[in-house]
Amino acid sequence: MKKEEERPVLKVEGLTVRYGKGCPHCLEGGALLKNTCPQCRTVWACRAVDAELYPGEILGVVGESGSGKSTLMKSLYFDFPVTEGRAWLTSYKEGGADIFHQNLQQKKYIRNHIMGMVYQNPVLGLRMDYSSAGNIAEKLIAAGGRSFSSMTGRVRELLAAVEILETRMKEPPRYFSGGMQQRVQISKALANNPAVLLLDEVTTGLDLSVQARVLDLIRRIRQEYGISILLVSHDLAVIRMLADRTIVMLDGQVIERGLTDQILDDPQHPYTQQLVHSLL
């Protein structure tokens, strides 16, 4: 899927998220114990992560719990402040501005217009006491929508796209199953036709049949909307099914990257080998 002549829709360089001041040992790239500096106990949730996401591509991010996958996603969505690093979006000022160094208004604009996020835990992405329609409309309102009828029309369209009956649009997501909640989250993320969709463990905690429906939906969304997706999962089966390319993270760092088939069928790094062989 990667096309060398194409510009990436999202490019991340040296993304670092650090909790602690650091010390000469860890700041100069010294070895860490897991993702923690053995001397100053600074936690390096992400350390110099580079990534590129191309148009229409699904980029998988795999790794064990605590490897920095979700931190990477949430940093890109401005949920967490980054310590260092830069990122560019082609859809934002034609890729000429580092999104991490924008003011709050600009970051809000990027969140609401250019990116959509689906969290692992629907509670983070949805207001459980508001109606499903309200949850989706929230994104439209945040992007400046002030016409009730046009927003409701768009909500109907999005709920139909994720196969939720219009008759349930007034119900709050807390009455929905886990799979339905994830589908409401997906429709909310798609509300403003974002250029990049961030999916953080969308199928975790769902039973197999519901997982299959959600995965089918993601595949369909990619085909219909031509959207670029950054997909975090610790489930290699999900990655194999959806991702074109994959990066493997361990202790906050990217240890291997390549085409998904290549990563899963011929892993080079010992950790990736262990990961693949332990599951397949």
Partner 1 sequence: MIDQSHYNFAFLDENSKREIRRSLLKAVAIPGYQVPFGSRELPIGRGWGTGGIQITLSVIGRQDVLKVIDQGSDDSVNAVNIKKLVTACTGVKVTTDSEEATLIQTRHRIPETPLRQDQILILQVPTPEPLRVVEPRESVTKRMHAEAEYSPMWLTLYEDLIRCGRIGISSEYPVSVEGRYVMNPSPIPRYDTPKLNDSDALYLFGAGREKKIYAVPPYTAVIPLAFEDVPFEAEDFAGKRCRLCGAEHVYLDELTDSMTGRRVYECSDTGYCAKRRAEAAGEKRISAGSTESERETGGSVSAGASGEEMAR
Neighbours of 181 (CB within 10 A): 22
The single residue among 51, 73, 133, 197 that binds partner 1, judged by CB under 8 A, is 133
The answer to whether residue 187 forms part of the interface with partner 1 (CB under 8 A) is no
- Give the single-character DSSP code of 34: T
Q: How far is the CB of 166 from partner 1 (least distance, A)?
A: 12
Q: Do 87 and 100 touch, CB atoms closer than 8 A? A: yes
Within 102-121, the residues that bind partner 1 by CB under 8 A are: 104-105, 108
Q: x/- string (CB under 8 A) for partner 1, residues 146-175?
A: xxxxxxx----------------xx-----
Which residue bears the tokens 């993601």?
218
The single residue among 58, 87, 118, 138 that binds partner 1, judged by CB under 8 A, is 138
- Give the single-character DSSP code of 170: T
What does each C-alpha distance from 198 to 53, 148, 191, 272 come to in angstroms? 11, 27, 14, 23
Encoding tokens for residue 236?
């290699």
By beta-carbon proximity to partner 1, the closer residue of 23 and 142 is: 142
By beta-carbon proximity to partner 1, the closer residue of 120 and 132 is: 132
> Distance between CA atoms of 26 and 55, rounded to whole angstroms?
36
Q: Which amino acid is at 248?
A: V
How many residues line the site for partner 1 (CB under 8 A)? 21
Helix axes 178-190, 132-142, angle to 10 degrees: 20
Q: How far is the CB of 97 from partner 1 (least distance, A)?
A: 19
The region of 26-34, 74-82, 93-101, 135-143 touching partner 1 under the rule CB under 8 A is 135-143
The region of 13-21, 144-152, 184-192, 221-229 touching partner 1 under the rule CB under 8 A is 144-152
- Give the single-character DSSP code of 95: G
By beta-carbon proximity to partner 1, the closer residue of 51 and 169 is: 169
By beta-carbon proximity to partner 1, the closer residue of 107 and 269 is: 107
Q: How far is the CB of 89 from partner 1 (least distance, A)?
A: 21
The residues pairing with 84 across neighbouring beta strands, listed in sequence order, are 16
The region of 128-136, 233-241, 245-253, 264-272 touching partner 1 under the rule CB under 8 A is 128-136
Residues 6+ apart with CB under 8 A from 194: 113, 114, 115, 116, 227
Residues 6+ apart with CB under 8 A from 215: 203, 238, 241, 242
Q: How far is the CB of 103 from partner 1 (least distance, A)?
A: 10
Q: Do 172 and 132 touch, CB atoms closer than 8 A? A: yes
By beta-carbon proximity to partner 1, the closer residue of 146 and 277 is: 146
The region of 31-39, 75-83, 142-150, 241-249 touching partner 1 under the rule CB under 8 A is 142-150
By CB under 8 A, name the binding residues for partner 1.
Answer: 104-105, 108, 127, 130-131, 133-134, 137-138, 141-142, 146-152, 169-170
